[in-house]
Amino acid sequence: MLERDNQVAGRKVLVIEDDQEILDLLRPSLVLEGFAVDTATSGEAGLDLLRATTFDLVLLDVMLPGINGFETLRRIRAEFPTPVIMLTARGAEVDRIVGLEIGADDYIAKPFSFRELVARMQAVLRRSFPSLTPSAMPVPASPKGVHLDGRTRSVRCDGQLLELTAAEYEVLRLLMQAGGEPVTREVLCRKVFDREYSVLDRGIDNLISSVRRKLGPTPDGLERIKTIRNVGYVFTSPESTCAG
């Protein structure tokens, strides 16, 4: 058994997976790690459970009977802020890209090691449910710029409240806290996904694209997040604030 993470122990997890053999292995193993686990074997059944019970995390298989994992994720994102980790086939890069674009917080390729799965789950839960600190004070809404409130994990852009996934929030927070300095893909990948960066890994690039789309341009028509070629990304909106 892995070392127990007290911050995420007891969190409720929904596993949406149609392979009964995987479910029979995952459920007792996750329970031993301190998670409370429910399972569903289809997207429709998973959505019904989400509507009936509050979960802290969803593990969602891509290949499901009926509505597939992508459509299930779209419906989850339309109704719930619950963080989602996609379970994809090994080597299916397009699955990972599509999942992140729709709003997945992370992905893991099958077959996966249980140790890696739990580490990914812990990382996503820590991002989604951070400890509150006295310094994480709310930031008043402002008519201009991007304002990030670390206590409520909310983001306002030009006065409008945005809906960001936990991973999108984290990548934006890291860029804003850099104070106008570029942040490399290696750093972003390590801190957002808790893994080392690979040149074939498009996870951070897809997250940046999604955050850009949600933020939109400045009133002057400029991008708020710029790409620094061969380096990474930089947040450039001068009127913005980041607390926490």
| Predicted confidence (pLDDT) at residue 96 exceeds the cutoff of 50 | yes
Reported confidence tier of residue 93, pLDDT bands at 50, 70, 90: low
- Residue 76 has what pLDDT? 94
pLDDT-based confidence at residue 4 (cuts at 50, 70, 90):
very low
> Average pLDDT of 67-92?
87
* Domain count of the fold of the chain: 2
- In this predicted model, what pLDDT tens digit does every residue of 186-211 receive, in sequence order? 999 888 887 888 877 778 888 899 89
Higher pLDDT, 166 or 113: 113
pLDDT value at position 45?
A: 97
Average pLDDT over residues 98-124: 86
pLDDT at 3 over 60: no
Q: Tell me if the pTM is above 0.75.
A: no
Identify whether 95 is part of a domain.
Answer: yes
* Structure-token pair, residue 89: 């086939």
Decide if 93 contacts 200 (C-beta within 8 A).
yes
Is residue 51 scored above 90 in pLDDT? Answer: yes
- Pairing label, strands 106-110, 57-61: unpaired
Phi, psi of 223 (to 5 degrees): -70, 140
**The pLDDT of residue 112 is above 90:** no
Domain boundary among 59, 94, 128: 128
In this prediction, residue 7 has a pLDDT band, given cuts at 50, 70 and 90, of: low
Residue 39: predicted pLDDT: 96
Amino acid 92: pLDDT: 61
Q: Which of 47-61, 114-128, 178-192, 212-226 has the highest mean pLDDT?
A: 47-61
Percent of the chain past pLDDT 90, that is, above it, reads 38
Same domain for 73 and 16:
yes
Question: Is residue 124 located within the same domain as residue 161?
Answer: no
CATH of the domain at 236: 1.10.10.10
Weakest mean pLDDT among 30-44, 112-126, 127-141, 168-182:
127-141
Residue 235 lies in a domain: yes
* Mean per-residue pLDDT of the chain: 83
What tokens were used for 183? 């942040």
Q: Is residue 141 part of a domain?
A: no
Residue 135 resides in a domain: no
- Give the burial string for 79-88 (b: 16+ CB within 10 Å, else e): eeebbbbbbb
Please, what's the b/e burial string for 37-57 (b: 16 or more CB within 10 A of its CB; e: otherwise)?
bbbbbbbbbbbebbeeeebbb
Triad 195, 116, 171: Cα angle to 5°: 35
Q: Please check whether residues 167 and 234 belong to one and the same domain.
A: yes
Across-strand partners of 37? 13
- Single-letter code of the amino acid located at 203: G
Question: Across the chain, where does the E strand assignment appear?
Answer: 12-16, 36-40, 57-61, 84-89, 106-110, 146-149, 154-157, 160-162, 183-184, 225-228, 232-235, 241-243
What pLDDT was estimated at residue 224? 92
Residue bearing tokens 């299930």: 72
- Same domain, yes or no: 88 and 124: yes
Q: In what order do the strands lie in the sheet with 57-61?
A: 36-40, 12-16, 57-61, 84-89, 106-110
